Amino acid sequence: MNQEEPRIAIVYATEQGSTRDIAEFISDELAGRDAIVELADIDHAPDLSRFDTLVLGSAVHDMDFLPAATEYVHAHRDELSSRNVWLFSVGLAPALRGPIGRAAGRFVPKKIATLRDSIAARDYHAFAGRYERAGISPHTRILYRLMGGGHYGDLRDWAAIRAWTDTIAQSLRLPKSHSTTIHP
Ligand SMILES: Cc1cc2nc3c(=O)[nH]c(=O)nc-3n(C[C@H](O)[C@H](O)[C@H](O)COP(=O)(O)O)c2cc1C
């Protein structure tokens, strides 16, 4: 192992898989730029002593990280506070449009902000995930539309995810990406 290469753990908490896809994409991008990367579901998170950087992602439910992600941060607060931690969330808010929707998309839910600040995370970014129409009540559909949500399905913005990954790579002084893959 080349000791010069940064060691990055990428850990995700997902309910329906879209956060895992994003974590996989970030992992592939960083591994392709000469970092040593380990990707894991939060229930199988690696021992952090082997890593200097953690990228932690969670789906958003009810304006909070999934319980497994919140519990993980609480349980490892000291280790996380002494490392570079990059947090991301995956929800529907960043996909909202119009003045109200964009304001809602920029708003960081209080519980997530508190968690972010408790470990002095290097950065936090909210990405759009998947939002399936099936199973959504008529009341929630109307609310979604009023908030500026027009679309259902896969709302992920891979260019935004790539740009954030690039920010992480640049902060670690990794070489430029050779990849031209635009994720589906
Ligand atoms: C029960 C439930 C609650 C949700 N609450 C929120 C929320 O408060 N804010 C938000 O932006 N998205 C919310 N969402 C949307 C999900 O975060 C979105 O579908 C995301 O893609 C899920 O990620 P996953 O596929 O990794 O589980 C909610 C979804 C469900 C099923």
The pLDDT tens digits of the residues spanning 92-138 come to 999 999 888 899 888 999 999 999 999 999 999 999 999 988 988 99
| Cβ–Cβ under 8 Å, residues 57 and 8 | no
Distance (Å, whole) CA 159 – CA 168 = 14
What's the gap in Å between 81 CA and the centre of ligand 1? 27
Distance (Å, whole) CA 43 – CA 34 = 26
- In 101-119, which positions are buried (b, 16+ CB within 10 angstroms) versus exposed (e)? beebbeeebeebeebbeeb
Residue 77: predicted pLDDT: 97
| Cβ–Cβ under 8 Å, residues 166 and 129 | no
* Amino acid letter, residue 72: Y
- Those residues of the chain that have pLDDT short of 50 are 1
Question: How is the chain split into domains, by residue range?
Answer: 7-171
Residue 181: predicted pLDDT: 66
Residue 105: predicted pLDDT: 85
What's the gap in Å between 23 CA and the centre of ligand 1? 16
What's the gap in Å between 4 CA and the centre of ligand 1? 38
Q: How many CB atoms lie within 10 A of CB 67?
A: 11
Residue 7: predicted pLDDT: 97
Mutate to test the pocket of ligand 1, among 12, 15, 157 (most ligand atoms within 8 A of CB): 15
What would be the CATH architecture of the domain defined by 7-171? 3-Layer(aba) Sandwich (3.40)
